[in-house]
Amino acid sequence: MPKSATQAVNNTVALPTPKPGILDIKAYVAGKSKTATGVTPIKLSSNENPLGASPKSLAAYVLHAAKLGRYPDSGHVELREAIASVYGLDASRIVCGAGSDELIGLLIHSYAGLGDEVLYSQHGFLMYKIYAQGFGATPVTAPEVNLTTSVDNILKAVTAKTKIVFIANPNNPTGSYISSEEMKRLRDALPSHVILAIDGAYAEYVDMPDYTAGSELVEATPNTVMLRTFSKIHGLSSLRLGWAYCPAAISDILNRVRGPFNVSGASLAAGAEAVKDTDYTETVKLYNQNALNYTVKRLTDMGLHTYPSVANFVLVDFAKAKKSSQATNQFLMEKGIIVRDVESYGLPTCLRISIGKDEENVAVCDAIEQFLKA
């Protein structure tokens, strides 16, 4: 009798093996959303918008329920045109994805593989590393100066193998940014075959005269990409929606690699209304500025060191405080307040606190003050 397929396989010891790099990945640990004690938590761990999404975008989302039986528009036309008209961009070079995470992955998938290097700054966003490893490329970091991207150090780390440089501007979890002049200096000095990917996840929050989100560099060069998301100021994290603005040759590549239905119809509908509701975006931005100022003042009044932030979170350093970041985090958890431990970002003495609703910001500051005095 012939051996069954199962027996044949069992006789050899070869087991399925993942591709090189994948076993090096330390899985991303998202900001926690539950506390041990079961009290309804105050969640300040994922830089979400505490005011939620624009009511117009929520209405579009609900209306979409009637269309759930149909595939979404694979060309994302309505959303791309809405984004293009709000920001004055060329709709044909916008590519939408399931969160900017997917677009980070598509860029690395398309341009970097085994033997190639993906470069980013020391405390850069973790997904650059995870996707690089997932596609077999080597993640490389360049030291920061004062927890800020150093263009000189990035340039020193470029090698013949570098394929993509990712700069989150502002950066998460540090909250720092570099000026548009510095970004241009970086672009001008990078080899032309290297893609500069500017991740503007928090761009809408920034109110600095020397800052731009980077679309002017996309327009002026054949090798710069700008990434944006609906997860932060637009309050649509759960929908998973992001976009990339690219030179034509790069949008062409990303459109070949992406799945035709990578963005759901509900996301396309809600996203278009969210981006068009610029009054609401402005309201959230102003709210955040006031709330951020409050939180930073409270923390510094307690003698804690905070790093300057232009985004919707603040990085607090407990290195010189009476209590460690770990002990403080533990205490907050017990009170049902969840902040972000940033040890995985190489910042073991720090906690990252997202800006929440007014009463949540009061609660986290009161709790930290109470703990430091105890």
Give the nearer residue to ligand PLP in terms of CB position, either 298 or 352: 352
Q: Give the count of residues interacting with ligand PLP (CB under 6 A).
A: 14
State the nearest-atom distance from the C-beta of 46 to ligand PLP, in Å: 8
C-alpha span between 311 and 314 (Å, rounded): 8
Give the nearer residue to ligand PLP in terms of CB position, either 47 or 262: 47
Rule CB under 6 A: choose which of 229, 264, 306, 312 binds ligand PLP. 229
Give the nearer residue to ligand PLP in terms of CB position, either 133 or 229: 229
Tokens matching residue 209: 């005269």
- Judged by DSSP in three states, 94 sits in strand
Rule CB under 6 A: choose which of 100, 122, 149, 223 binds ligand PLP. 100
- Judged by DSSP in three states, 48 sits in coil
State the nearest-atom distance from the C-beta of 133 to ligand PLP, in Å: 17
Residue closest to ligand PLP when measured from CB atoms: 99
Which residues share a beta bridge with 119? 140, 165
Tokens matching residue 341: 């431990």
49 closest CA partner among 285, 342, 332: 285
Give the nearer residue to ligand PLP in terms of CB position, either 27 or 66: 27
Q: Is 99 in the site for ligand PLP (CB under 6 A)?
A: yes
User: Contact region for ligand PLP (CB under 6 A) — 14-22, 87-95, 99-107, 150-158?
Assistant: 99-107
C-alpha span between 154 and 166 (Å, rounded): 10
Residue type, 335: K
Give the nearer residue to ligand PLP in terms of CB position, either 237 or 330: 237
Q: What is the DSSP letter of 22?
A: G
State the nearest-atom distance from the C-beta of 121 to ligand PLP, in Å: 11
Q: For 56, how many CA atoms within 13 A lie in the half-sphere containing its CB?
A: 12
Rule CB under 6 A: choose which of 137, 147, 190, 201 binds ligand PLP. 201
Give the nearer residue to ligand PLP in terms of CB position, either 163 or 232: 232
C-alpha span between 239 and 270 (Å, rounded): 9
Which residues share a beta bridge with 43? 338
104 closest CA partner among 78, 74, 139: 139
C-alpha span between 160 and 74 (Å, rounded): 37
C-alpha span between 265 and 64 (Å, rounded): 7
Give the nearer residue to ligand PLP in terms of CB position, either 109 or 335: 109
3-state helix, strand, coil in the chain (%, to 5): 45, 15, 40
Residue 200, Cβ density class (10 Å: 0-12 exposed, 13-18 middle, ≥19 buried): buried
| Neighbour count for residue 16 (Cβ, 10 Å) | 4
State the nearest-atom distance from the C-beta of 61 to ligand PLP, in Å: 17
User: Contact region for ligand PLP (CB under 6 A) — 51-59, 137-145, 225-233, 316-324?
Assistant: 225-233
370 Cβ contact partners less than 8 Å away, ≥ 6 residues apart = none
Rule CB under 6 A: choose which of 105, 139, 175, 242 binds ligand PLP. 242
29-58 residues in contact with ligand PLP (CB under 6 A) are 47
User: Contact region for ligand PLP (CB under 6 A) — 53-61, 97-105, 137-145, 285-293?
Assistant: 97-105
For residues 134 to 173, the per-residue mask of contacts with ligand PLP, x marking binding by CB under 6 A and - elsewhere, is ----------------------------------x---x-
State the nearest-atom distance from the C-beta of 32 to ligand PLP, in Å: 16
The residue ranges that bind ligand PLP (CB under 6 A) are: 47, 99-101, 125, 168, 172, 199, 201, 229, 231-232, 237, 242
